[in-house]
Amino acid sequence: MKFTCLLDLASHWASEKGVDVPQLVAEICPADKPGDITLNCFRIAKGLRSNPMQLAQGAQEFLEAHQDVESVEVEKAFVNIILTPKATHEATVADAEAFFESVKLPEAERLNYLIEYSAPNTNKPLHLGHLRNNALGMALVEILKKVGHEVHPVNLVNDRGIHICRSMEAYKRFGNGETPESTGVKGDHFVGSFYVKYAQELELQVKALKEDEPGLAEQSTDKLFLQTEIGQATQRMLIDWENRVPEVIELWELMNSWVLAGFNQTYDRMGVYFDKCYMESETYKLGKDIIDVGLEKGVFYKREDGATEIDLKKYKLDKKVVLRSDGTSVYITQDIGTTILKADDFNPDAMVWVVGDEQIYHFKVLFAILKELGYEWADKLYHLAYGMVNLPSGRMKSREGTVVDADNLFDELHELAKAEIRKRFNGQELPADLEHRAEVIAQGAIKFMLLKVNPKTTMMFDPEAAVKFEGDTGAYLQYVCARIASMLRKASDSEVTDYVDWALLNHKKEKELSLCLARYPQVIQKAAQDKDTGQLGTYLLDLGKAFNGFYHDCPVLKSDVDPSLRRARLELSDRVFTTLKDGLNALTIDTLESM
């Protein structure tokens, strides 16, 4: 927000005191104070090494004489300024093109980002936790694009390993040749059901084992895994998979194709897309050659027992094994290799991983190793570590059946949204796009709920609150858009002049609205910088509330409104509409012309 009166004040001070005056940043005046904007002289005084009270006095004297200023009041070192309406609106949103252009970062600060998110396992359907990941990843992509970065989203599908073999082994035993097509079950759910069956069978075998050998009674299922018949069979299957045994590969390909088809449906519904999907089955052997290079460089060393290790005490981290003594890879080896592959593929300036906060340590280690290996992009790696999603009853536990399934949640919200629409049509003919409206509202509800909080917060998902479309919700914001769209529709046939007289918008709510709008470019840039969707969500709610206040107090289309005032209010409303839509789209939430 660049207000002429503050620019003038800055140059006035500069010439008066003969020093450089940093840019004077205005704050929004608190609602209970007399003013539109506030100059905090406590803050300015530090830079100028002056007395805050005297600065405030001086500011008042200067500003009272300024043509953009109606009045000034000083409280302590706060200078509360009431601007003329013209100055308020023209410094903020009058020039729509300039306003939206100011969202973009300077050319020199724009980067090429590579963002990895989602990273599902192909053995179970997606649940609420994945939805937080997906929503964050998608939104981060759009926010970064919005401020001018180039962004490439990628996925890394965990399609191999012992957990995948579990579903396969169970299918071999209990599948009876059924398929998603023959049963009509979505592919990922179909395969997931065998993962569940596997767990049941394993428990039975463990129980039998413990009955045979009471000494094992205290052992965990994981410990006894390889002593069960099914566990051994699964382990053999993993080895067969690695040896590319045709019938195992065939089954694996078949079941993965089912799961991925299911995931793609869910992705499409959310609007998830990727520039590239890496499959772990194709990348899991990567990284070993890099370890050799690192050994030569002295980054790694061989331990006496043959394992290859790196000492990261310089980074306040522990030692980390990167190759087992038998020469095989560990998880981080693969991650090193995959990261380098991604860097080669996209040549990014910066990379982001959207992964849960339980892996914070892992990424610290990964980044430190890549730094030691000397990659030029190693300083621009970021782990967006989000907190987990809890239920009122606590953590989601698959064993207790409390996992909130993604597809079911979508369906449930869709039906509830539809019921809400029906309620409002109250017997009238329903709109032709009823299903579309319900889906946009449902997606908006779940996404906004997940994105409005700070990503790092361990958040609570309350099903009761999620199914309401009131208060701090996506629907609240979509509703504002629908209201404005309705006004703009009704006004479209009226005469539209190019000239908007912003000086007419002198109502407190009108000025507040412009001042709130004016924060948008900074907010979205800060959200991009901090990779924090919560800041944007909070802001959009502020904007929505500011509009609803205006809408309540300032009639636009009523017959007694002067045409030029109506014109100006429509223009302001249009700016809210465009901004809200832009901001919601940055959160990957769609808007509606009618709800």
Q: Does 456 bind RNA (CB under 7 A)?
A: yes
CB of 312 to RNA, least distance (A): 12
* R_g over Cα of the chain: 30
Binding string, residues 245-284; x marks residues near RNA by CB under 7 A: ----------------------------------------
Taking the complex as a whole, the smallest distance from the CB of residue 23 to RNA amounts, in Å, to 12
Is residue 593 close enough to count as binding RNA by CB under 7 A? yes
Cα–Cα distance between 490 and 106 in angstroms, integer?
A: 39
Helix (H, G, I), strand (E, B) or coil at 426: coil
Other C-beta atoms closer than 10 Å to the C-beta of 54 total 12
Instruction: Give the residue, chosen from 97, 107, 247, 326, that forms a contact with RNA under the rule CB under 7 A.
Output: 326
SS (H, E, C) 394-412: ECCCCCCCCCCEHHHHHHH
- Positions of E strands within 422-559: 459-460
What separation, in Å, do the N-terminal and C-terminal C-alpha atoms of the chain show? 33
Contact (CB, 8 A) for 256 and 279 = no
The reply on whether position 48 binds RNA by CB under 7 A is no
With beta carbons less than 8 A apart as the criterion, state whether 332 and 320 touch: yes
Structure tokens at 591: 């808007």
Asked if 452 touches RNA (CB under 7 A), the answer is yes
Among 169, 188, 420, 571, binds RNA (CB under 7 A): 420
Q: How far apart are CA 379 and CA 368, in angstroms?
A: 9
Half-sphere exposure of 471 (CA within 13 A, CB side): 6
3-state secondary structure of 301: strand
Burial classification of residue 427, based on how many CB atoms lie within 10 Å of its CB (0-12 exposed, 13-18 middle, 19 or more buried): exposed
Stretch (H or E) spanning 68: none
Cβ partners under 8 Å of residue 228, min gap 6:
202, 205, 206, 209
- Under the binding rule (CB under 7 A), the answer on residue 178 touching RNA is no
For tokens 């070993």, what's the residue? 288
**How far, in Å, are 215, 462, 532, 576 from residue 538 at the CA level?**
57, 19, 11, 15
Nearer to RNA, 64 or 181 (CB): 64
Q: Which member of 124, 149, 197, 483 binds RNA (CB under 7 A)?
A: 483
Does 529 interact with RNA (rule: CB under 7 A)? no
Tell me whether residue 350 or residue 391 sits nearer to RNA (CB atom).
391
C-alpha to C-alpha distance for 18 and 376, rounded to whole angstroms:
43
User: According to the binding rule CB under 7 A, does residue 486 interact with RNA?
Assistant: yes
441 forms part of the interface with RNA (CB under 7 A): yes
Maximal CA-CA distance, the chain:
95
For RNA, the binding residue among 2, 17, 297, 303 (CB under 7 A) is: 303
Among 4, 8, 10, 40, binds RNA (CB under 7 A): 40
- Would you count residue 429 as binding RNA (CB under 7 A)? no
Does the protein bind RNA through residue 29 (CB under 7 A)? yes
Decide: 148 and 110 in contact? Cβ < 8 Å: yes
Binding residue for RNA, selected from 181, 208, 265, 331, defined by CB under 7 A: 331
When the beta carbons of 17 and 436 are compared against RNA, the nearer one is 436
Nearest to 425 by CA among 438, 412, 414: 438
Judged by CB under 7 A, how many residues of this single chain contact RNA?
Answer: 88
- The reply on whether position 27 binds RNA by CB under 7 A is yes
Task: Determine if 436 is a binding residue for RNA (CB under 7 A).
Answer: no
| Residue in 263, 274, 469, 502 binding RNA, rule: CB under 7 A | 469
Q: Is 576 in the site for RNA (CB under 7 A)?
A: no
Binding mask 540-559 for RNA (x = CB under 7 A): -x--xx--xx-xx-xxxxx-
Interface residue with RNA, options 307, 350, 391, 500 (CB under 7 A): 307
Looking only at residues 103 through 142 of this chain, which bind RNA when binding is defined by CB under 7 A?
Answer: none
CB 535, min distance to RNA, A: 6
Binding mask 69-108 for RNA (x = CB under 7 A): ------xx-x-x----------------------------
Helix, coil or strand: residue 110 = coil
Which residues make beta-bridge pairs with 320?
A: 310
Buried b (16+ CB within 10 A) or exposed e, 383-421: bbbbbebbbeeeebeeeeeebbbbbebbebbbebbbebb
Q: Does 437 bind RNA (CB under 7 A)?
A: yes
- Closer Cβ to RNA, 112 or 359, answer by number: 359
As measured in angstroms, the least distance from the Cβ of 454 to RNA is 3
Nearest distance, CB of residue 305 and RNA, angstroms: 4
* DSSP code for 313: G
- 180/294 with CB nearer RNA: 294
Candidates 446, 482, 515, 586; binder of RNA (CB under 7 A) is 482
Restricting to residues 487-516, name those near RNA by CB under 7 A.
487, 490
Q: Cβ neighbours of residue 511 under 8 Å, at least 6 residues apart?
A: 36, 83, 85, 88, 89, 505
Which CB sits closer to RNA, 11 or 325?
325
Contact between 221 and RNA per CB under 7 A: no
Minimum Å gap between C-beta 327 and RNA is 9
Please give the Cα distance from 319 to 113 (Å, whole number): 30
- 301 contributes a contact to RNA by CB under 7 A: no
**Is 75:33 a contact under the CB 8 Å cutoff?**
yes
Nearer to RNA, 261 or 385 (CB): 385
Give the three-state DSSP class for 148. coil
Query: C-beta of 276: minimal distance to RNA in Å?
Result: 20
Site string for RNA, 368-407 (x = CB under 7 A): ---------------------------x------------
Closer CB to RNA, 151 or 576, in the complex: 576
**Is position 361 an interface residue for RNA (rule: CB under 7 A)?**
yes
